[in-house]
Amino acid sequence: MHNIKKLKIWNDSIDLCVDVYEALANMPNDEKYGLSSQIKRAAVSISSNIAEGAGREREKEFYYFLNIAYGSSYELQTQLILCEKLKFISSEINKSLLDRLNDVQKMIYVFKENINKRII
């Protein structure tokens, strides 16, 4: 088991989630239960799955939840791009979010690979 508060990957994904919520604050009301809701769920899913995996006893289980977090990160990436194309958020705000998301994706990938080496 890992102490999630000490995991940079978890802390960065939490910060990203907060930034995503703030960026969506001005989205149209008719998107409240549409794209906005999906984006928020994907953003929350990243840190939540890292936390769930970290709380498991076996590295193989942690690897499994990191895979889910990794998938959610690509879901979030797609939704943010769509959000920008629909002009719900500015390209400047989106670039910042996507850059941070890219950093989180890299960390998840490296973390997964390190765990995978230990469980093989």
Query: Exposed, middle or buried: residue 66 (CB in 10 Å: 0-12, 13-18, 19+)?
Result: buried
pLDDT above 90 as % of the chain: 82
pLDDT tens, position by position, 36-79: 999 999 999 999 999 999 999 899 999 999 999 999 999 999 99
Domain ranges, ordered by start, for the chain: 2-115
In this predicted model, what pLDDT tens digit does every residue of 100-113 receive, in sequence order?
999 999 999 999 99
Q: Are 21 and 43 in contact (CB under 8 A)?
A: yes
Mean pLDDT of 91-108: 97
The arrangement of secondary structure in 2-115, i.e. its CATH architecture, is Up-down Bundle (1.20)
CA-nearest of 120, 116, 101, 117 to 9 is 101
Question: What is the reported pTM?
Answer: 0.93
